[in-house]
Structure 1
Amino acid sequence: MPFLHQKAPGAPEPAGPAASWSPARLAALAGLAEGTGPALEVTSPSEGRPLAVVRQAREGEARAAVDRAREAQRAWAARPVRERAAVGHRFARLVLDRRDEILDLLQAETGKARLAALEEVMDASRTAAYYAHAAPRLLRPQRHVGALPLLTRSTELRHPKGVVGVITPWNYPFTLPASDSVPALLAGNAVVIKPDHQTPLTALLVLALLREAGLPEGVARVVPGTGPVTGAELVDAVDYVMFTGSTATGRAIAARCGERLIGFSGELGGKNPLLVLPDADIPAAAVGAARACFSNAGQLCVGPERIYVHEAVRERFTEAFVAEVAGMRMGPGTSWETQLGSLTSPEHLARVHSQLDDAVARGARVLTGGAARPDVGPLFFAPTVLADVPESAALCREETFGPIVAVYPVASEEEAFARANDTPYGLNASLWTAPSRGRRLGARLEAGTVNVNEGYSAAWGTHSAAMGGWKESGLGRRHGPEGLLKYTEAQTIAVQRLLPIAPWPGLGGERWAGLLTGAVRMINRFR
């Protein structure tokens, strides 16, 4: 796209996280949005300065975008799978080639630290590459054993759903539109993305890179707008919905999809546990827990918010963990050494503060942190560790989604697993123990992904394996074969040859029943 190459050689760059994005380039990017409604000023949360103005969709424009996408989808689905997969390969390479430009925009729009933004870039590229390699195999017609072997030839085909609606949140605004859209596109669908109103620019950059990778114009579209208007309209128009966000909103969308009898997949809320057992490597656990709990300033669906430490190692772990957290580097800018960036909105800062104040009022102790840091930037909050958080505190059981974690001592491994599983959520868990015990003990945790001696990255980065939530943390899966096949309709075509599956001419019903019973016995034995 031309706006990716507008800077003239030798021209001065603007300062700040969006250094590689001039106002003209940002305006060109904003112009890709499909909407003629109210102007939305996108601001940088770490600096409080405006970035660009994006037009939101008016009533009826999301449905119109779906209609246009449906027209474009037919020709796209007719292309050979390997031709569609080639777009995925090119997109994966482009994301790495444009790494720094993507990081600059991500940081400017979200306020996250550069290393946290890097996770999005790597995840988007790896997801695209995995599905570009896997799509031809997953979508190939599959032969199956027929009702009567040799006489019945059965083949399973995979057809695209049509138009997929992808609704994404503000915390990972590049990789979620990319990693949820690419498998849907490679399966032959069109995609309409509704990004969160706080972070539309990075979703528009995904669209621009997809088009640059060779995706025909119109097959993917981005429609900014509010949830009650644009989101609801999208859900009522598409053939499948992929949603990432809160459990409450996920329930409402799933209910609407159920009324329409269309598919729904959702990664929803979590209150993820991290367990430290007596045989854990304590120094490694302290460093790993700090990195996991405060990645993206705690605004991470799979990040730990509850730490259960065996009494035998509680003092050693807590001392090392608090020291690690207290020494974390926080601030704006593009330094690779910064560990914590900004929160994304004033509303979210207020929510985090409210949960902390409630917990402290009910008896919780602050071991480190515990305050906003306006001296660093308007929405910065110090990484915070709490102890003695009572069950009555909202922070004990409700998702905080911010830079606060509570440490709870446990008297036994049994208690650790029981308390970790005592939650309506089941998105991710982290277990620190001897590697030889990791897989066996990890299976006891009620979560869609379990990371042993890691916080979340090991499972998240295993793109060939399913990722998603148990219980109230979601439905469906992203990653793995299911992450693409969920965007398809399965169709079985069975061709019967020579003889019907019914009494043959001249053969009585009783003889047919005996013959069929014997044949089924043999089929059961060998199949």
Structure 2
Amino acid sequence: MTFQTAHILPGTLDDLAGEVSADESDESIPVDAPFTGERIGDVPACAPSDVTAAVARARTAQGEWSSWSVNRRADVLLRCHDLVLDRQDELLDVMGLESGKVRQDGYEEVLDVATNARYYATRAEELLRPRRRDGAIPLATKTIEYRKPVGVVGVIAPWNYPLTLAVSDAIPALLAGNAVVLKPAEETPFSALLVAKLLREAGLPADAFRVVTGRGDEVGPALIDAVDFVSFTGSTETGRTVAERAGENLVKCSLELGGKNPMVVLDDADVAAAVEGAIRGCFTNAGQLCLSFERLYVQDGVYDEFRRTFAERTRELSMAPSLDYDVEVGSLVSERQFEKVREHVADAVDEGATVVAGGNARPDVGPYFFEPTILTDVTEEMTLAREETFGPVVSLSGFSEEEEGIALANDSDRGLNASVWTTDTDRGWRIARGIDCGTVGINDPYHATWASVDAPMGGMKDSGIGRRHGREGMRKYTESQTVAEQRVASLAPPRRVPTKWYARAMSGVMRLYKRIEEAR
């Protein structure tokens, strides 16, 4: 290999694979290093019966785990916070090795897991606390809302952020008193297995967080059939299938799906800052980021300057099969993803798109490397105009008026993330509010919205249902229970009182309640 994994001891990956319980299958799935295409290990190909057994073990463990106080559970996640930071080099090596991402992109995942662990651990008691609600009759009715864990949560995670998307969603589920069974992507199972080990070291009961490895079309359906809630991150197409199966089982689900995200640069923007934002927003993780921009719209007044500067900066980006911090662009994850990116670019060029920067595969660097690419003259009939490329490729177009920029940003059946660049704060907030995306950054690509973990994050339109982060990110893993005590009187008509009189009296009471509420 042309890179070093200084923090992974020999045999570590084999030891991690050995923690998967796969009693019903002798098959295994090879895991390759995208930097070189070489095999780095194997994990069991779990059978549906293995999934059922893992969920049964998790369900047993959940009974004990949910009996712990919220503060005791929080202590476990705070210890996990420290372990993730302490063991970050090992985590970064494993992530880079199996996903092909460069170290600076992997470090964002370390920060994210630690941030979510700290946020939910320090707020879980408040978010889960029983809450007094207005009773049916003031003073006469005492009503309290309780939050109960749903049971066992199934998390189906993708390969592009193998630490964040495997663990950050599991953290609030665990703190709410649930057990979790995680199905990581076939390409990137070791990051999930390593963090499962860290959770146990932090004090989590062993079976409260189980990992099942295997092929999605076999393990996924079995998991959905067995759990009480499904959290899925992935493509819109697969998300529809997950939602359909969850619906058949009357199991709630949260889905963060694909995007075709726009970035809008206004004519009063700081061009240098906007270019750097575009570099981060388009090419982080080689474009394999659900929040990354694939459509870039620049207002006429700064279009030429932005186009020139963005192209120059893109050509300067460093690419290498390296786990060092100073490399800016890593590999695509697999041959399948590489071919998708290559085909999208080739189709666009054949149909008349102009390559401003990049546009080429780089087999001299590694088997799945593709240059960061900027295309202009992209038209609707081109595949990449509508489909999510999920690679280091962005289309660049100009526009004249604000309303046109907003319309272009909204011209998609997806609405996950967007960004607006301007030096006029009021203008930025006004345009951001007009864009139909679940998150919109002003003078920031995605870091500010994603890292604001007290606020919900998710998609509009075909980009998903449900939210992660904030109050919604924990409460979705709970069932609300309302308990009401009628202390005096009754809402039913008293005996020996004619119903007609009761109806008149209650109508008067309702009018009184209205006046009281209006006066508040």
Q: TM-score, normalising length from structure 1? A: 0.95
- Is the CA contact 1:59–1:230 (under 8 Å) kept in the aligned structure 2? yes
Partner of 1:359: 348
Which of 17, 36, 40 is the matching residue for 1:47?
36
Separation in 2, partners of 1:519, 1:142: 26
Separation in 2, partners of 1:248, 1:405: 22
Which of 184, 191, 196 is the matching residue for 1:207?
196
Residue 244 to residue 376, structure 1, CA distance change in 2 (3 Å)? same
Partner of 2:506: 516
Deviations 1:162-208 (A, max 9, x none): 11100000000001111111111111111000000000000101211
Counting only pairs closer than 5 Å after superposition, residues 316-355 of structure 1 correspond to structure 2 as 316-355=305-344
SS for the counterpart of 2:193 is helix
RMSD over aligned Cα atoms:
1.3
Is 24-33 or 118-127 further displaced after alignment? 24-33
- Is the CA contact 2:34–2:367 (under 8 Å) kept in the aligned structure 1? yes
Which of 126, 130, 152 is the matching residue for 1:137?
126
Partner of 1:283: 272
Separation in 1, partners of 2:276, 2:289: 18
Counting only pairs closer than 5 Å after superposition, residues 417-432 of structure 1 correspond to structure 2 as 417-432=406-421
> Could you tell me which amino acid in structure 2 is paired with residue 431 of structure 1?
V
Separation in 2, partners of 1:346, 1:337: 25
Question: Per-residue deviation at 1:505?
Answer: 4.4
SS for the counterpart of 2:388 is coil
Partner of 1:8: none
Tell me, yes or no, if structure 1 residue 308 matches structure 2 residue 286.
no
Question: Per-residue deviation at 1:262?
Answer: 1.0
Separation in 1, partners of 2:181, 2:458: 22
- Is the CA contact 1:243–1:266 (under 8 Å) kept in the aligned structure 2? yes
Separation in 1, partners of 2:308, 2:119: 41
Tell me, yes or no, if structure 1 residue 125 matches structure 2 residue 75.
no
Separation in 1, partners of 2:214, 2:122: 34
Which of 488, 493, 501 is the matching residue for 2:491?
501
Tell me, yes or no, if structure 1 residue 379 matches structure 2 residue 397.
no
Tell me, yes or no, if structure 1 residue 481 matches structure 2 residue 471.
yes
Tell me, yes or no, if structure 1 residue 398 matches structure 2 residue 364.
no
Separation in 1, partners of 2:323, 2:154: 33
> Could you tell me which amino acid in structure 1 is paired with residue 451 of structure 2?
G
- Is the CA contact 1:177–1:206 (under 8 Å) kept in the aligned structure 2? no
Is 444-453 or 66-75 further displaced after alignment? 66-75
Deviations 1:122-165 (A, max 9, x none): 00110111111111111110100100011110000111111110
Separation in 2, partners of 1:209, 1:19: 19
Which of 22, 31, 46 is the matching residue for 2:9?
22
Separation in 1, partners of 2:323, 2:202: 27
Is 91-100 or 261-270 further displaced after alignment? 91-100
Separation in 1, partners of 2:195, 2:236: 26
Deviations 1:421-466 (A, max 9, x none): 0100000001111233222210000000001101111101110100
- Is the CA contact 1:34–1:56 (under 8 Å) kept in the aligned structure 2? no
- Is the CA contact 2:2–2:321 (under 8 Å) kept in the aligned structure 1? no
> Could you tell me which amino acid in structure 2 is paired with residue 247 of structure 1?
T
> Could you tell me which amino acid in structure 2 is paired with residue 25 of structure 1?
T
Separation in 2, partners of 1:242, 1:255: 14
Matched positions, count: 514
Question: Per-residue deviation at 1:53?
Answer: 1.9
Question: Per-residue deviation at 1:224?
Answer: 0.4
Separation in 2, partners of 1:24, 1:291: 35
Question: Per-residue deviation at 1:506?
Answer: 5.0
Which of 433, 443, 461 is the matching residue for 1:453?
443
Residue 512 to residue 87, structure 1, CA distance change in 2 (3 Å)? same
Is 134-143 or 331-340 further displaced after alignment? 331-340
Q: TM-score, normalising length from structure 2? A: 0.97
- Structure 1: unaligned runs, 5 residues or longer: 1-13
- Is the CA contact 2:81–2:113 (under 8 Å) kept in the aligned structure 1? yes
4+ residue runs over 4 A deviation: none
Residue 47 to residue 22, structure 1, CA distance change in 2 (3 Å)? farther
Separation in 1, partners of 2:512, 2:75: 45
Question: Per-residue deviation at 1:91?
Answer: 1.1
Which of 195, 212, 218 is the matching residue for 2:184?
195
Question: Per-residue deviation at 1:274?
Answer: 0.4
Deviations 1:41-92 (A, max 9, x none): 2121112233222112023111111111111111111111111111111111
Separation in 1, partners of 2:426, 2:365: 43
Partner of 1:70: 59
Partner of 2:167: 178
Deviations 1:200-248 (A, max 9, x none): 0001012111111110010110000111111110011111100000101
Separation in 1, partners of 2:362, 2:277: 24
- Is the CA contact 2:232–2:256 (under 8 Å) kept in the aligned structure 1? yes
Separation in 2, partners of 1:394, 1:116: 28
Partner of 1:31: 18
Separation in 1, partners of 2:32, 2:10: 12
> Could you tell me which amino acid in structure 2 is paired with residue 280 of structure 1?
A
Deviations 1:502-524 (A, max 9, x none): 22345433332233223222322
SS for the counterpart of 1:516 is helix
SS for the counterpart of 2:169 is helix
Separation in 2, partners of 1:34, 1:124: 25
